[in-house]
């Protein structure tokens, strides 16, 4: 098992390229099942999660070709050879459950394992299944599998989500594009990844309007064609490296980052004393090494609010800020598991239910820490960049799920970061 070792104290200066969004790429991969023609996805991140999804698609009959030199993925689902997504594959990554809707829409039936819980909460799929039922699907859950059928095809429906869900919005879109008639999704999620999926589906011949607003209208079509689509830049990766530059100090250009997708994070960084400006096709992050950041309160919200996927990184930053900050997590339960690990570095964090009170300290001291999930793991890297001495982050397989070439990108701007195999560390 790998670990990442960081020697803190080096400011970051230079350019970090931002790759395609993991949270969008996975749903775009699933969209390939909707057409018998090839789908070319450019700016495709090469991650553990996107590789897991590719393996599942191969099982279902998709021809998969990676062109890694150009970050391009070619997916060709000429024939669906299986409509069963087994537990052994779905359990590795929750997003693989999203093959259910496309299989149901194109083949008329599907059997997909329930994804189960995860380290940051249960994240049930009830809203997904209710959306399919509203479109006329018959659904039975047996022995941990969802068995869905719509042998006469899905029908357009009006679906009013009781609360905002990115996953349910995307999954309903993936099914509705081939349904007969019109579908209206109300109280839909507005994340940039939703609009990215809609852009790809429309390029394939779908008729989706309103993506990025709370009401999405979809006019079903009988079939979709192939297309070429570039995955939107990863706003979470961009926000993570922005927090890293803010923690370590320095001057970093995040090449490819989208200013308009990061409004809440930009406000947060400016509030704590970091300079953030749009520059060309990217973001410039500047923080003078001398002087402390200012503590500020924030809570996670659906887009355009502060992203839950940047909460852990922001907590690491606030552990070094002057004053006390209150962080409220409103999206997922159990998402403060990084707090005890940050405390091993000297952070002062008190967790009460879905709120954390962070009292900033003058400095953090390096120590061995353990990653518990994807975003928590990178928060420990950020803390290690600012800490005195050496920090060893264990269980970095979590990082590989969502960050491509993390060590290389950080080393490229002056960080002292290295990956070690367990035998090397012994």
**Nearest of 287, 282, 296 to residue 386 by alpha carbon:** 287
Contacts of 235 (CB under 8 A, 6+ apart): 21, 192, 257, 258, 261, 262, 265, 307
CB of 263 closer than 8 Å to CB of 304: yes
**270 assigned binding-site residue:** no
**2 assigned binding-site residue:** no
Backbone phi and psi for residue 363, each to the nearest 5 degrees, phi listed first: -155, 155
Name residue, tokens 């990178």.
378
**127 assigned binding-site residue:** yes
**13 assigned binding-site residue:** no
Q: Is 118 a catalytic residue?
A: yes
**Nearest of 175, 14, 23, 150 to residue 94 by alpha carbon:** 23
312: β partners: none
**Nearest of 9, 64, 11 to residue 33 by alpha carbon:** 64
**17 assigned binding-site residue:** no
**22 assigned binding-site residue:** yes
Instruction: Kindly tell me the sign of the dihedral angle through the C-alpha atoms of 377, 378, 379, 384.
Output: positive
- Of the listed 84, 107, 118, 418, which one is catalytic? 118
Structure tokens at 216: 């999405």
**125 assigned binding-site residue:** yes
**126 assigned binding-site residue:** yes
Collapsed DSSP state (helix, strand, coil) of residue 388 = strand
Q: Could you tell me the CA-to-CA distances from 148 to 82, 171, 309 in Å, in that order?
A: 14, 14, 31
**23 assigned binding-site residue:** yes
**364 assigned binding-site residue:** no
**What residues are annotated to the active site?**
118
Name the binding residues: 22-23, 94, 123-127, 309, 331
Tell me the binding residues for phosphoenolpyruvate.
Answer: 22-23
Question: Which residue ranges make up the annotated binding site for UDP-N-acetyl-alpha-D-glucosamine?
Answer: 94, 123-127, 309, 331
């Amino acid at each position: 098992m790998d670990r990442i070792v960081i020697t803190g104290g080096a400011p970051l200066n230079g350019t970090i390229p931002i790759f395609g969004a993991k949270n969008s790429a996975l749903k775009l991969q699933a969209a390939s099942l909707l057409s018998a023609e090839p789908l070319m996805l450019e700016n495709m991140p090469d991650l553990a999660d996107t590789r897991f999804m590719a393996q599942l698609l191969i099982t279902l009959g998709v021809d998969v070709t990676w062109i890694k030199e150009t970050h391009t993925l070619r997916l060709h689902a000429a024939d669906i050879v299986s409509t069963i997504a087994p537990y052994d594959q779905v359990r590795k990554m929750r997003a693989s459950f999203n093959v259910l809707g496309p299989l149901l829409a194109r083949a008329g039936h599907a059997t997909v394992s329930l994804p189960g819980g995860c380290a940051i909460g249960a994240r049930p799929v009830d809203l997904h299944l209710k959306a399919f039922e509203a479109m006329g699907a018959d659904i039975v859950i047996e022995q941990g599998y969802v068995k869905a059928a719509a042998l006469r095809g899905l029908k357009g429906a009006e679906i009013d989500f009781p609360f905002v869900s990115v996953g349910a919005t995307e999954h309903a879109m993936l099914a509705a594009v081939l349904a007969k008639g019109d579908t209206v999704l109300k109280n839909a999620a507005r994340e940039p990844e939703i609009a990215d999926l809609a852009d790809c589906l429309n390029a394939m011949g779908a008729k989706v309007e309103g993506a990025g607003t709370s009401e999405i209208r979809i006019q079903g079509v009988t079939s979709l064609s192939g297309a070429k689509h570039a995955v939107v830049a990863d706003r979470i990766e961009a926000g993570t490296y922005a927090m890293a530059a803010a923690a370590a100090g320095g001057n970093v250009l995040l090449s490819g980052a989208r200013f308009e997708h990061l409004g809440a994070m930009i406000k947060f960084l400016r509030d704590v004393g970091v300079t953030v400006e749009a520059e060309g096709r990217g973001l410039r992050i500047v923080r003078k090494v001398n002087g402390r950041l200012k503590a500020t309160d924030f809570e996670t919200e659906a887009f355009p609010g502060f992203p839950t996927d940047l909460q852990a990184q922001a907590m690491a930053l606030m552990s070094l800020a002057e004053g006390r900050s209150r962080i409220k997590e409103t999206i997922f339960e159990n998402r403060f598991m990084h707090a005890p690990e940050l405390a091993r570095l000297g952070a002062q964090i008190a967790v009460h239910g879905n709120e954390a009170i962070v009292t900033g300290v003058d400095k953090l001291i390096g120590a061995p820490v353990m990653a518990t999930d994807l975003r928590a793991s990178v928060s420990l890297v950020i803390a290690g960049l600012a800490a005195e001495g050496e920090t060893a982050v264990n269980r970095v397989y979590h990082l590989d799920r969502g960050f491509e070439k993390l060590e290389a990108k950080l080393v490229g701007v002056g960080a002292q970061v290295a990956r070690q195999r367990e035998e090397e560390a012994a």
